[in-house]
Amino acid sequence: MPLPMTPLAITAYTASSALGCGLAAQLDGLRAAHSSLRPNDFSSAPLDCWIGRVDGVEACTLPTNLTAWTCRNNQLAWLGLQQDGFTDRVATARARYGADRIALLLGTSTASIGATEEAYRRLDPDGGFADDMLRPAIHAPHSLTAFAATALALEGPSLTVSTACSSSAKVFASAARMLQLGLIDAAVVGGVDSLCDSVLFGFNALELVSADRCRPFDAARDGISIGEAAGFALLERVEQAPRAPRLIGYGESSDAHHMSTPHPDGLGAELALHEALARAGVDASRVDYINLHGTASQKNDAVEAALVNRCFPASTRASSTKGFTGHTLGAAGIVEAAIVLLAIEHGLIPGNLGSECADPDCGPSFAWRNERQPVSVALSNSFGFGGNNACLAFARGEVAA
Amino acid sequence: MSPLQVHVDGIGLWSPQLADFAALRALLDGATVAPPAARPAAALLPSNERRRAPESVLLAIEVAGQAVAMSRHQAVSLVSIFASAHGDQTITDYMCSTLARQPDALSPTRFHNSVHNAPAGYWSIATGCHAASTSVCAQQASFGAALLEAVSQLLAAQAPVLLVCSDTGAGPPLCEVTGCSQSFGSALVLAPHAGPSSRARLNVQLRRGHTISELPEPLAGWRAGNASASALPLLTLLARGSGSCTVAANGRNDLQIDMESIA
């Protein structure tokens, strides 16, 4: 097991999902136990399912110098960056450290593949891309990060992590290592995934999409609801902001089992969990809240409920928030990290929205409805296709004297 | 920043012209090199997986397997970093064409093989490796950015890592925008300390600038036709024994790599 890590301050963060843009919208939605899912009005052909769609993405116009980057994913990224004063906080960090001392590490599952899909829907008669789609930068999986580097004027290490639904959790681990080595002084981490036909029809082909609103950990759950989201966080050394909430641990592992179903015993998930706890230097009993991956797929939820039952006491509260936002795929890690940080800041355990009839295999840790209690240490689980697992540990900052 | 020091314990390479790292050495020595079979063998995959796996996976597994075999490390214990500028373009082409025509006909297998971490998934399953694995990209700088991530993982954990960087070619219309027309893949097993298999010591430094090392033909042409072939300056150094090179780490920075031979 790894040694404890030096905690890092999260000096700014933001999230935008179908609940709305910015942290206040996430918090209001969580408090009101409000699902943002709606009947699918997005896909290019009908598909009977519910989606978590962010309002206003199409109307979002990129500044003139960035118009070549225009596509749904980058519009959502831009919308997300404008919330909660995030770009100003990055500008302050840039002035303090220099643009080349700040890493940009973003996770995405499909980046702007939606733009490539569009190019194929309206190919020229000669079979090539239409002139307005001949923009190489948006037809690459690095599109999001390259766009954000330009938008934020960052010049340090820049990397896209694309490990399906664990992508924007793993960027925290990369940032922590680069800071530990002194390669950088700060990191912007986060992720964006946007609705597109690839994921809607792809997950549908795998029979993983529910025709109804997703019901995580429900006895009758029958699949996911796909959502879209953008989220970002700024990581700096704790001395810069002792009272800011902290990243205190991370764990990463591989199931080595199957491309699209989790290990039946949760082997990889448990390895990631124990690694995160070891880096955090806390044992499971100190964890107040776990934001679960909880996709509402039959197998994920069964494996994860068993993991919670065997590793945590009832005092550790656990829930999935996919019922609020849908499964935002590569953005799930950052959105749920933001929800965990809100839980710490506001003493709110979000209830496991969407479940009417709890799966009897879920133990006493499950918070079926919102609960109010102080949260000092909290975890977020993110698991992806290919058996790729990540677990992040967060904690409250120094309390004012 | 002082240089980051790592050791190269294993090297894998595959392109339509070169079967492995030894073939690159021979080519640089002026020998005529016989091309490999059309599809990478990827012998580490179980035969049923090998039949089903897309070419992007075969290529990544082939070079990863070569590097690990040369390094004599156990695949089961290696943290891995898989990089690819474009993922599997054949699958992207299939998915986008199918979605444009008949979206509900999409193949579930090809969808799950479309994730950027498909090679990492197949690798971990084939080797039974539960260690951390990441899959990354950075456009034309994918190799350099992934090398920096690999070095950072290795130094943070003080344990060896496997770095794979590979892209397969595509036809039109996709290659018009990706510029990736032929396959190229390479892999390195990197270790924090010199061991019995270590062949070279690298001092790696991130620095401002954009001076990418020149390459002799035909290698320069390969780099122009495949982002993953931007590993070639380092692979060439490894083949020749010592020297320095630069590879792009992102739009603004290079990795300066100074190499000394150990063997």
Decide if A3 is inside a domain.
no
CA pair distance A157, A3, nearest whole angstrom:
25
Distance from CA of A151 to the nearest CA of B (A): 14
Decide if B202 is inside a domain.
no
Residue among B114, B117, B253 whose CB faces A100 most closely = B253
**What percent of chain A lies above the pLDDT cut of 90?**
98
Give whole-number Cα distances, B234 to B17, B203, B258, in Å: 18, 12, 9
Count helices and strands in chain A by DSSP H and E runs: 11, 16
The yes-or-no verdict on residue A401 having pLDDT over 70 is no
Decide if B200 is inside a domain.
no
Q: B178, A386: Cβ pair inside 8 Å?
A: no
> Domain containing A302: what range?
8-395
Decide if B236 is inside a domain.
no
CA pair distance B51, B44, nearest whole angstrom:
12
The overall average pLDDT reported for chain A is 97
Q: Which two tokens stand for residue A47?
A: 């598909």
A87 Cβ under 8 Å from any chain B Cβ: no
The per-residue pLDDT for B2 is: 82
B130 Cβ under 8 Å from any chain A Cβ: yes
The per-residue pLDDT for A140 is: 97
> Domain containing B135: what range?
8-193
The per-residue pLDDT for B217 is: 86
What is the tens place of the pLDDT at every residue in A121-139?
999 999 999 999 999 999 9
Decide if B69 is inside a domain.
yes
The per-residue pLDDT for B229 is: 97
- At residue A229, φ and ψ (nearest 5 deg) are -165, 165
For range A77-93, the mean pLDDT: 98
Query: In this structure, what CATH number is given to the domain that contains residue A176?
Result: 3.40.47.10
Q: A205, B120: Cβ pair inside 8 Å?
A: no
B133 Cβ under 8 Å from any chain A Cβ: yes
Lowest mean pLDDT among A128-137, A356-365, B212-221: B212-221
What is the tens place of the pLDDT at every residue in B135-186?
999 999 999 999 999 999 999 999 999 999 999 999 999 999 999 999 999 9
A 207-266 residues with CB < 8 A to B: 207, 252-260
Q: Is the ipTM of this complex over 0.95?
A: yes
For range B116-130, the mean pLDDT: 97
The yes-or-no verdict on residue A400 having pLDDT over 70 is no
Residue whose C-alpha is closest to residue A292's, from A252, A357, A340, A232: A340
Q: Which two tokens stand for residue B86?
A: 């474009």
Measured between beta carbons, which residues in chain A are less than 8 angstroms from residue B156? Answer: 176-177, 180-181
B 181-240 residues with CB < 8 A to A: 206, 208
Please, which pLDDT band fits residue B197 given cuts at 50, 70 and 90?
Answer: very high
Give the list of residues 6+ apart from residue B218 with CB closer than 8 angstroms, or none: B17
B253 Cβ under 8 Å from any chain A Cβ: yes
Helix (H, G, I), strand (E, B) or coil at B99: helix
The per-residue pLDDT for B263 is: 67
The count of CB pairs under 8 A between chains A and B is 229
Decide if B70 is inside a domain.
yes
The yes-or-no verdict on residue B20 having pLDDT over 70 is yes
The per-residue pLDDT for A290 is: 98
Give whole-number Cα distances, B10 to B162, B184, B230, in Å: 9, 17, 18
Q: Is A165 labeled as catalytic in the residue annotation?
A: yes
Identify the closest residue of chain B to A199 by CA–CA distance.
B111
The per-residue pLDDT for B209 is: 87
Measured between beta carbons, which residues in chain A are less than 8 angstroms from residue B85? Answer: 140-142
What is the tens place of the pLDDT at every residue in A268-312?
999 999 999 999 999 999 999 999 999 999 999 999 999 999 999
Give the number of other Cβ atoms within 10 Å of residue B74's Cβ.
Answer: 11
What is the tens place of the pLDDT at every residue in A232-264?
999 999 999 999 999 999 999 999 999 999 999
Query: In this structure, what CATH number is given to the domain that contains residue B64?
Result: 3.40.47.10
Total domains in chain A come to 1
Q: Which of A21, A49, A60, A165 is catalytic?
A: A165
The per-residue pLDDT for B211 is: 86
Decide if A1 is inside a domain.
no
Total domains in chain B come to 1
B173 Cβ under 8 Å from any chain A Cβ: yes
The yes-or-no verdict on residue A266 having pLDDT over 60 is yes
The yes-or-no verdict on residue B252 having pLDDT over 90 is no
